[in-house]
Structures are given as structure tokens and as C-alpha cells.
Structure 1
Amino acid sequence: MTGEHAALTTPPANGDYAANRPPARGYCEAPDRLEGFIRALESARGKRLLIVIKGHPDPDSIASAIAQRHLAKAYEIESTIVFFDPISHPENRALAKSLDADLRQYREDMDLGAFDYMSFVDTQTPHLPVRVARPPPILTFVDHHKIVGGFDAAFIDIREDAGATSSIYAEYLEHSQFGLRLGSSEDARLATALMHGIRADTDSLLLARPIDFRAGAYLRQFIDSDLLRVISKQSITVRTMEIIQRGLNNKVIRGTFLLAGVGFVREEDRDGIAQTSDFLLRHEGVETALVFGIVNGDVVDGSLRTNSATIDPDGWLKAVFGADSAGRHYGGGRRNKGGFRIPLGLFARCRDRDALWAIGKKTIEDLVFEKIGVEQDDKDAG
């Protein structure tokens, strides 16, 4: 599914959510769940909602709770975020303060039974950690861990294929009609919180899944970069996440070989091509991944990663891309990795970027697929 599912819902009565809201561009993994989530919120319009953070609040649970409150507000739902264990990590305390998150620690004089509904985020069990005579019914339960036990709720969304609950909420935001808006400081803080939550729960993207990269590609246009630098230690840049998303969208698999073009890339982001190749090799079930793009508008830059016993990156890339008039090879490598850089020369002056990319992409694909075909024929003949 693509952007045509961006308008799955009827916009809420309050607020102009269409203003400054970019259209959805990514893939919606679960449109039926999105619709179920919206129906649950609509059923609670005008009610009071208790949003529960269990355990010590961490970046993913904090961001998910804030997102739940943001989405509920569109349906005139009054939400209160309550946590029960102290925010123990100094970075998480700084996060909550920097975001002006309005999180409330449970006190014995709080009447949790006075709420109309409860929502649980980023937790395996839907039970309050304190005794409440008549706990409110569960409106929504959203998490990315394997569920423990059964329970009743108006809406449940558990995705074990997500690296972070924040990624699920980012999908809700992107593919509904009350998503994040450009120019809104409140929405920028929410986007920043979700991005930090994703990074924190995926070990700086090392454990990220496709939904996490789709979320990152969506959120990057809204985040407050200065705030993100303050609250996170980054090993993969936001722009690299977007390049990885392009690689996921554009990948072509032939047998155990994956090829992906990621379009135009800034010089300062060129490392994202290699990181995308690394990611696709780990997550797409192939033996070899080759990712390429046009860097700085004047060179085709590519990266190859392989765990194949039959591909020597150095020899393979030299055979595919050849050499210039001076005999300098465009590509090369060692052991399980390699790369290539092919100057566009006069063609770099082409003003039609779409045409330039189409020519570059077609040329690379033809060369690679021809090489794969020759190798496959040789293997079959043997």
C-alpha cells in the first residue's frame, strides 16, 4: 500500500489538521489496524483517558505516550500520562524535561478509577501496577513485544516486527488526517521524541526493522535537530535513515542478489549508501547487496556487501564497471565489501534530474544484471 491510504479517516471536528501537513509518502503496513485505532478514539470522544507507562519510563515509552495523547486530543479526549516507577536514568529525566512532556508520577491520592478509559503503551501486560477497585476499561494497547497473557481491549496493536513502539505511532500519524504539521513547535517536539525513541530501542538502528526506517523517513521532516542532538547520541544520521528507506522501497532481488538505487545523495550523506547496503544484506535474506546513488550530482557512487563464498568484491566490481582511459578501475574492494565511483562528466550538467537518474539507474542495472546472468549461466553449465 502506498500514499493512497493517507486519507483513511474522517478528520476530527476540531482543528485544521490539513494545514501545513505533508501528504503520506511511505508504505502503510497495517491500514486495518489504523482504522481500528481511529474507531477506538472516536468511540471515546470527549472522555477522560489515563495513559499508562509501566516500568521505568524510557525514550520509547515516553514518546509513545506523548503520541497517544496527541492523537487522542484530536478527538477531544482529555488525557493524563501517569508513570509508576521513577524516571531513573538521567538522560530520560532530561528527555522528559526538554520535551515539556507533562508526565505525572503516581501518587496514592490519585483516583485512577475516575478515568473513563485506559491506554497502555510499550508494555507486555495491560495491568495497573497498583490496586484500583474498579479500573477503567482498556481503550487501546500498542506495543512491539510478544504479548504475555490475554485481555480485553477496544483496540490492540502488537507488532513484534517493529523495533520500537514509537514506529507504530509514527505510522498512525503519517497515514491519518491529523498527522504532524510543518512549522508547529509542539509537533516538532513529538517527532523528535519519536525519533529518539526509535533509536534508543533499536540500539542506534542496529536492530531496526523496515517499519522503523519508514518511521524515521517520515519523522525527519518535522524534527528539531538541535533538540535531537541534546537528547540523543547518534550513530546513524536522520538523512541516512531516509536513504535506507529509499533502498527498501527500490530494491530488486534476483536470486540471492539485491540491487537498489537510492537516487540523488548529498556529498555529506554519501556514507548512507554503504550503511544502506549493510542494512539490506542483514535484513533481506540475500547473500549480496549492491546499493548506488548519484552523489553531489556528478558521480555515481555504489557500495557492495556480500557474504557469498563465490563473489570476490574486488574482481567482481572491476569486471562489471571496467576502467577509465588511464586504466584506473572505477570499482574495487576486499573480502566481503567493495565500492565504485563513476564520474558523470558532461552528463552532470544535465538539468533534467529525473532523466539523468533514469539513465544512470538503467545503465547500472543493465551492467549488474548482465554480470549476474553470465555467472548464473556458468554455474548452471558447471
Structure 2
Amino acid sequence: MFEQSALQRSREFSSQFIEWLRGKGTVLIVTHDHPDPDSLAAAMALKHLILVKTGQRSTIAYGGVVGRGENRVMVEKLEIELVPLEELDLQQFQVVCMVDTQPQAGNNSLPADCKVDLVIDHHPLRESCRDSVWVDVREDYGASATILLEYLLAQEITICTKLATILFYAIKSETQDLGREWSRADRLAYLHLLPLSNNRILFDIIHPEVPRDYFAAFSLAIRNARIFSDVLVFNLYEIGNPDIVAEMADFLLRVDRVKIVLGMGHYQEDEILSFRTLLPDIRAGAVMQEVVAGLGTAGGHGMIAGGQIRSVDKDSTSQNDLEETLTERLLNCLKRPVGPGQPLVVS
């Protein structure tokens, strides 16, 4: 079912790093901050691979919070063991791995002076990976989970129902049911995992209970949204869950004649940015990096991207000024006319 060339590539890479890893001691697996299903699934699959092949136990660590309702249910139902990065003594780990992110990418909380031995990702390769011993970055793949599934299959490791479910949901959510930035490898992985997954757990993940302030975010995003040609920008101001910005961006991308969405919200001391587009030639990651140049960090794929601006004041004046700056930068980058914008809804 899977292409032999892809499996051979995964077999060679995974065999080599497993032999290098064997006997080296404790392993740390780092996800990106506020981890999404793809990052969590890749971490769980790597942890399982290392345990089966070497007997070494791994600790999965993350920065930020697991905020989105679907992700919290997934962590609970699939028994994903996570530890906040800030609670760990990093010196106790002999090997450090990263999944679905890269060293100094700006979207993970691993200190810059902490050496990363293994990087597995599907975002554009960064120069910061040059110091890592093992790097498998596949920009043409829609999900990091697909890469890890290939490792497991190539190493002939049995995949239990819960691991199959998290891998399936990761590919499902990351590619929007193979509707966004998917590759042939993602499609084959999706079809392979579907019959192995637990449908009841999938239903619970997709339909989580959510607090009332979740719906308040919808209301605020809609009321604050402004449209500039085919670009929509919204500001959630102070938020308690950083994932809500991306969720609102996905939701507002459904507005008719809107092809590009930029959303923002202030979480703790930082500004969280989310970018979505329906135009495959936009190169969202590059656009976001240009928009936040000199202000923060950003990264992404062709049609989805995110960014962070550290230490931003949360008062309304600072928030409005930042929104105006980012909007103007975005419109100039996209060569769209700069203007006052039109409200999404008129109250």
C-alpha cells in the first residue's frame, strides 16, 4: 500500500538513529508550544518507537497549554502523558528530540542553548537544524504524524488502537480531512489508520464540551472582523486559550469572497498570530515572517502559518496599534490596497 521508496527512506533513517540512540540514557521529546494533534501524535509515536526498539523511556514535554477542547479530550481519552517543560531539569536528559517544530523556531520553549539531537518535522527546514545529529524534515508532507507512521511500519512495530487513533486524528485535523496541503503519503496513512482507529473516541474528540466563553470568542471575532478586499483581519484582544485564535481563523475563512485571514489575540504577555489562506501560491509561512519581521517570529506551510510577538502590552491602545501595524504590513506584503476596511457585520 505504501510506496516502497518512502518506506525504504524511513527504514534507513529510523534504523540509523535508533542504533545511535541505543544505550544513551534518558530521552526528552519536545513538541511545539500549545501542542496540536499533529505534534502530540508525532511525540507519542516516537516515544513508542524508542521504547519498543531500545527499551529506553522518553518524556514528552511542552510549553504553554493544551487549550483547545478537542486536544484536551484527546489527551484524556488517549492517555497521553505530558509534562510542562518548565517543570523539568533539562540536564537530566542525555538525548533531546523535537517533533513538529525545530530549534529556535520561536514556537517552542526549549532554551536556545539546549542542543537538539533529533528533529522530525514537515515545516520548511531552518538553518538552526545544522547542529542536530539527525534531521528528517519533509516539507512535502502534510503532517509530521505521517512521517512517524512510516517509521513504525518500516520497523514492523505493532500499532495499538489508541496510537492509531491519535495518528489518524492528527492527519485528519492537520490536512482538514485531506482537503488542505496533503500529499500522497498523507492519504495512504489516513486510509491505513482509519480501520484501526476507535470511532467512539474520535467522536468524543471531534465533539467536545466547551465552556461558554468559547462562544463569546466567536461573537468577539465576528464583531471585530474587518475585510480588506479578499483579506479579513480580526482581534480577540485578551484570551485565556491561545488555540482559539487559530480556531477562529479557520472559522472566518468560510466568509464568502474572503481568501486570506489574519487573527490575533493577547495571551499572558505575548501576541498569538494565526494566518490562513485558500490561495495555494501565497506561501503563508514566508508572508507571516515578513509581516512580523523585527517584531517576533513566525513559520508555517503554504496555506497555514502562525506567529508570536513576545512581551506585548495588553491594554486596548497597544492592541489596536499592533493590529493596525500588522494589517498594514500584511496588505502591503500581499499588494492589496490599504484602507479602513469594512466590518464583517453591521450592528
TM normalised by structure 2 equals: 0.54
> Among residues 138, 143, 151, which one is paired with 2:116 in the alignment?
138
Aligned position for 2:16 = 39
Runs of 4+ in 1 over 4 A off after TM superposition: none
Tell whether the 8 Å contact from 2:104 to 2:112 is kept in structure 1 after alignment: no
What is the rounded CA distance, in whole Å, between the counterparts of 1:143 and 1:113 in structure 2? Answer: 24
Q: Which runs of 5+ in 1 are unaligned?
A: 1-24, 181-186, 234-382
CA gap 1:120/1:126 in 2 versus in 1, 3 angstroms = farther
The yes-or-no answer on 1:188 pairing with 2:164 is: no
Aligned position for 2:94 = 116
What is the rounded CA distance, in whole Å, between the counterparts of 2:146 and 2:110 in structure 1? Answer: 29
Tell whether the 8 Å contact from 1:44 to 1:77 is kept in structure 2 after alignment: no
Which AA in structure 1 matches 2:183?
Answer: R
Tell whether the 8 Å contact from 2:33 to 2:62 is kept in structure 1 after alignment: yes
Tell whether the 8 Å contact from 1:112 to 1:132 is kept in structure 2 after alignment: no
What is the rounded CA distance, in whole Å, between the counterparts of 2:163 and 2:104 in structure 1? Answer: 24
Aligned length: 200
Aligned position for 1:104 = 83
> Among residues 206, 209, 220, which one is paired with 2:183 in the alignment?
209
Aligned position for 1:198 = 171
Tell whether the 8 Å contact from 1:126 to 1:141 is kept in structure 2 after alignment: no
Q: What is the deviation of 1:161?
A: 1.1
What is the rounded CA distance, in whole Å, between the counterparts of 2:154 and 2:111 in structure 1? Answer: 37
What is the rounded CA distance, in whole Å, between the counterparts of 1:87 and 1:80 in structure 2? Answer: 16
Which AA in structure 2 matches 1:59?
Answer: P
> Among residues 53, 66, 71, which one is paired with 2:44 in the alignment?
66
Q: What is the deviation of 1:232?
A: 2.8
What is the rounded CA distance, in whole Å, between the counterparts of 1:138 and 1:175 in structure 2? Answer: 24
Q: What is the deviation of 1:30?
A: 5.1
What is the rounded CA distance, in whole Å, between the counterparts of 2:15 and 2:206 in structure 1? Answer: 31
Aligned pairs for 1:210-225 (under 5 A) are: 210-225=184-199
Which AA in structure 2 matches 1:85?
Answer: G
> Among residues 161, 164, 167, which one is paired with 2:140 in the alignment?
161
1:42-78 per-position Cα deviation (integer Å, ceiling 9, x unaligned): 2222421100012211010011100010001011121
CA gap 1:88/1:35 in 2 versus in 1, 3 angstroms = same
Aligned position for 2:109 = 129
What is the rounded CA distance, in whole Å, between the counterparts of 1:169 and 1:131 in structure 2? Answer: 25
What is the rounded CA distance, in whole Å, between the counterparts of 2:133 and 2:104 in structure 1? Answer: 12
Q: What is the deviation of 1:132?
A: 7.6
The yes-or-no answer on 1:78 pairing with 2:52 is: no
Aligned position for 2:270 = none
Q: Secondary structure at the match of 1:220?
A: helix
1:107-130 per-position Cα deviation (integer Å, ceiling 9, x unaligned): 34x211210101100014357624
What is the rounded CA distance, in whole Å, between the counterparts of 2:161 and 2:179 in structure 1? Answer: 25
Q: What is the deviation of 1:153?
A: 2.2
Tell whether the 8 Å contact from 2:27 to 2:56 is kept in structure 1 after alignment: yes
Q: Secondary structure at the match of 2:49?
A: helix
The yes-or-no answer on 1:27 pairing with 2:3 is: yes
Q: Which runs of 5+ in 2 are unaligned?
A: 208-347
> Among residues 45, 51, 54, which one is paired with 2:29 in the alignment?
51
Which piece of structure 1 moves more, 144-153 or 156-165?
Answer: 144-153
Aligned pairs for 1:206-245 (under 5 A) are: 206-207=179-180, 208-232=182-206
Which AA in structure 1 matches 2:201?
Answer: L
Aligned position for 1:292 = none
What is the rounded CA distance, in whole Å, between the counterparts of 2:104 and 2:206 in structure 1? Answer: 29
TM normalised by structure 1 equals: 0.49
Q: What is the deviation of 1:31?
A: 1.6
Tell whether the 8 Å contact from 1:113 to 1:132 is kept in structure 2 after alignment: no
Higher RCO (C-alpha 8 Å, min separation 6): 2
What is the rounded CA distance, in whole Å, between the counterparts of 1:214 and 1:126 in structure 2? Answer: 32
Q: What is the deviation of 1:84?
A: 0.9
What is the rounded CA distance, in whole Å, between the counterparts of 2:196 and 2:110 in structure 1? Answer: 37
Which AA in structure 1 matches 2:2?
Answer: G
Q: Percent identity?
A: 30
Q: What is the deviation of 1:131?
A: 3.7
Which AA in structure 1 matches 2:3?
Answer: Y
What is the rounded CA distance, in whole Å, between the counterparts of 2:29 and 2:40 in structure 1? Answer: 10
Tell whether the 8 Å contact from 2:2 to 2:188 is kept in structure 1 after alignment: yes
Tell whether the 8 Å contact from 2:85 to 2:109 is kept in structure 1 after alignment: no
1:271-328 per-position Cα deviation (integer Å, ceiling 9, x unaligned): xxxxxxxxxxxxxxxxxxxxxxxxxxxxxxxxxxxxxxxxxxxxxxxxxxxxxxxxxx
Q: What is the deviation of 1:188?
A: 0.7
Tell whether the 8 Å contact from 1:123 to 1:143 is kept in structure 2 after alignment: yes
CA gap 1:179/1:141 in 2 versus in 1, 3 angstroms = farther
What is the rounded CA distance, in whole Å, between the counterparts of 2:15 and 2:81 in structure 1? Answer: 24
What is the rounded CA distance, in whole Å, between the counterparts of 2:136 and 2:112 in structure 1? Answer: 25
